[in-house]
Amino acid sequence: MMRAKIIGTGSCLPEKCVTNKDLSTFVDTSDAWIQSRTGIRERHLVSSEAETTLTLAVHAAEKAMADAGICSKDLDLILVATVSSDFITPSTACMVQKELGAYHAAAFDLNAACSGFLFAFHTVDAYFQAGICQTALVIGVETLSKIIDWSDRSTCVLFGDGAGAVVAKASSRGMIASLQGSDGSRGEILLCKNRTNNNPFVSTGKEPDYLTMDGQEVFKFAVKKVPECIENLLGQADLDLSQITYFLLHQANHRMIASIARKLNLPMEKFPSNVDRCGNTSAASIPILLDEMHRTGKLSSGDILLLSGFGGGLTWAASLLEW
Ligand code: COA
């Protein structure tokens, strides 16, 4: 049966790098607080109207296609995972298709918050298994900075903007096993309301809402759910923890990654991280990290990688794949 094999990666961060010290000039926070609670030192944020969810996505996609050695006409599916698209319609995926000239590709967006990239990757894998298509572009992209309340120190220090992309091809190798889940009953712990309905019958006059979060509940959810998810996936594939070369987790917070590593009784070297430089880029964090690992020569053919995402919805997902 054909499965999804990653044959190229790419990523794009906005030009502007914002340090914790920069943030402390407009909210009551400090480098010491942010670093000790999250491990974040800096993040990239869009700083002009020329940088958008679309432009970040297209740059990451072009790099992934160049790395894979394919051209846009080879693509038959484009999936974009995002909660911060520039338009409600057209979807970011359709806009990427236009920019790339990928006219043979079906294109749509998918929202599973910080688990979005893996939900999209699993969808591509399912399309490949069903024989629907052969070559797909999967992008995780966010400009979360537009849905953040920049006067709320409890959230604004955590997030960053960016995009990561992979090209996946139907192959007899690649994806080994995957799982995902959702718990909508706990959705309120990570919320961002869409635009208010101002039709003549319900006009509220309310300002748009920004992202709100119960940080401690999200923390508890992730450190419980991710190890469970990893153990279940390994059981499904009949592999054990020692056979995994790297665990690439959603980059939300260094303390969270460290407590997951502790729970699994594994050294931190198995958990590469860039949260210190990127902050939490939601759906983009796993493909950005994967691209960094690939470009710096950390991955070898045959490595077994375990990718795991978790976040708003609530949602969680994990993929086990051979590089
Ligand atoms: N700078 C300085 N002080 C801050 C602050 C900031 N940026 N943000 C909050 N504080 C203060 C709070 O006001 C509070 O002060 P008080 O004790 O006087 O009331 C104190 O720090 C402790 O706040 P608390 O929320 O209890 O901190 P915490 O130890 O839970 O850490 C998080 C907060 C957000 C770092 C932590 O809960 C976390 O990492 N959660 C997961 C968040 C996440 O990753 N979400 C996305 C997942 S996809």
pLDDT in tens, 229-283: 999 999 999 999 999 999 999 999 999 999 999 999 999 999 999 999 999 999 9
In 3D space, the residue among 177, 193, 320, 310 whose CA is nearest the CA of residue 246 turns out to be: 320
Residue listed under structure tokens 């995402």: 309
In this predicted model, what pLDDT tens digit does every residue of 32-72 receive, in sequence order?
A: 999 999 999 999 999 999 999 999 999 999 999 999 999 99
In this predicted model, what pLDDT tens digit does every residue of 101-130 receive, in sequence order?
A: 999 999 999 999 999 999 999 999 999 999
Q: pLDDT at position 200, please?
A: 80
Q: Is 250 an active-site residue?
A: yes
Q: Is 71 an active-site residue?
A: no
User: Does the CB atom of residue 213 touch ligand 1 within 6 A?
Assistant: yes
- pTM beyond 0.95: yes
For residue 308, pLDDT beyond 70: yes
Range of 14-28, 185-199, 202-216 with top mean pLDDT: 14-28
Percent with pLDDT over 70 in the chain: 99
DSSP 162-179: EEEEEEEEEESSSEEEEE
For residue 208, pLDDT beyond 70: no
Nearest atom in ligand 1 to 23's CA? 7
Q: Which residues contact 242 (CB under 8 A, 6 or more apart)?
A: none
Q: From the CA of 149, how far away is ligand 1's center (Å)?
A: 15
User: Does the CB atom of residue 114 touch ligand 1 within 6 A?
Assistant: yes
Name the active-site residue from 156, 192, 280, 294. Answer: 280
Q: pLDDT at position 203, please?
A: 72
Q: From the CA of 33, how far away is ligand 1's center (Å)?
A: 9
Alpha carbons 280 and 250: distance in angstroms, whole number: 8
Please give the helix or strand (H or E) that residue 143 lies within, else none: none
Q: From the CA of 215, how far away is ligand 1's center (Å)?
A: 6
Name the active-site residue from 114, 156, 192, 229. Answer: 114
